[in-house]
Amino acid sequence: MKNHNWTTIAIEVMFDGVLLKGQVRYWAKDYEVDLIEPFKAQRCSHLMYVIPARFTNDEPPRDGIRDIDVATIAREVLVALYKENNTEGIS
């Protein structure tokens, strides 16, 4: 199995008055979003290799490849994880 160059960036987003803290770990074809505060949750995703696209965060563009901004996706995923897993009624 090939070792990929994974990059990790911290992500924060305010939702309904709650600061959601997390991180996204990614390389061109996979990402993992971890919600760290106010509780822990995780979601992963993968792009098929045949799709001419990649997850990026400020990398220079490449001809013929669609760049998908992983930081924007990660913020949306943090909110979704919060909504799906907020069983404690944190607000």
At 52, the amino acid letter reads: P
Count up the domains in the chain and report the number: 1
pLDDT computed for residue 19 by the predictor: 96
Q: Say if 32 falls within a structural domain.
A: yes
H or E element at residue 29:
none
Which domain does 20 fall in, by range?
Answer: 7-85
pLDDT computed for residue 1 by the predictor: 46
Q: For every one of its 91 residues, what pLDDT tens digit does the chain have, with 9 covering 90 and above?
A: 467 789 899 999 999 999 999 999 988 888 899 999 999 999 998 887 777 877 777 777 788 888 888 888 899 999 999 999 887 776 6
Q: Say if 34 falls within a structural domain.
A: yes
Give CA–CA dist 55/34, Å, rounded: 16
Q: Say if 90 falls within a structural domain.
A: no
Q: Say if 91 falls within a structural domain.
A: no
Q: Say if 16 falls within a structural domain.
A: yes
Residue with tokens 């965060």: 57
For 33-53, letters b (16+ CB in 10 Å) and e give: bbbbeeeebeeeeebeeeeee
Q: Say if 71 falls within a structural domain.
A: yes
Q: Say if 50 falls within a structural domain.
A: yes
Give CA–CA dist 49/63, Å, rounded: 16
Q: Say if 21 falls within a structural domain.
A: yes
